[in-house]
Amino acid sequence: EAQVTQNPRYLITVTGKKLTVTCSQNMNHEYMSWYRQDPGLGLRQIYYSMNVEVTDKGDVPEGYKVSRKEKRNFPLILESPSPNQTSLYFCASSSGGRRQFFGPGTRLTVL
Amino acid sequence: GQQLNQSPQSMFIQEGEDVSMNCTSSSIFNTWLWYKQDPGEGPVLLIALYKAGELTSNGRLTAQFGITRKDSFLNISASIPSDVGIYFCACLRIQGAQKLVFGQGTRLTINP
């Protein structure tokens, strides 16, 4: 089954404790992206990747890092999480940018 | 920053009613997309529009790409309970073609 998977689905952590949210897709898509969803703001792009080893900032990259060492994986790294990064995070992938397939989401709470 | 203005932000309707929502932008876009997000899930693409003036249907859903390329609307006819969710418009930017920008979303609630 073609899908985008994210782990963990739920995470509660404390300020400053490094964490990684994994994202994997099995559709051989070149393009992957991370978004955060906050009430009243819709989805905002954090980072995106056009292909292996090619990444670029989205609209809200501050406090986040990404890497694209393999085509199928695109982890999101929070080196020192802060409470303003409490949000719902979505990973997405596509083969041409137009039709993006979204993962199920990761709800992160930073205390 | 946020470039799409989506309205209304929420709708409360009776089952069977028609629904209309729209999205406007101060910038020109060459692709408009409409997504639906069910509770606890990620957004799913409903309709994609690629040409100014294009009118596209998907079952009870109809969407149009505005002629000025700065707006789009989505209509849902004869709403049913499974239409409940959040609807987002989104656009692909002309520069940096892989960057999607989203509207704030319209939360649809249906009373049976």
User: A100, B100: Cβ pair inside 8 Å?
Assistant: yes
Q: What is the mean pLDDT of residues B82-96?
A: 84
User: B98, A97: Cβ pair inside 8 Å?
Assistant: yes
pLDDT of residue B94: 53
pLDDT in tens, A15-30: 999 999 999 999 999 9
pLDDT in tens, A21-63: 999 999 999 999 999 999 888 899 999 998 999 999 998 999 9
- CA–CA separation, A76 and A68 (whole Å): 10
Peptide bond before residue A81 is cis, with ω within 30 degrees of 0: no
User: A99, B31: Cβ pair inside 8 Å?
Assistant: no
Task: For the beta carbon of residue B107, count every other beta carbon within 10 angstroms.
Answer: 16
Residue B97 pLDDT exceeds 80: no
SS3 labels along A13-69:
ECCCCCEEEEEEECCCCCEEEEEEEECCCEEEEEEEEEECCEEEECCCCCCCEECCC
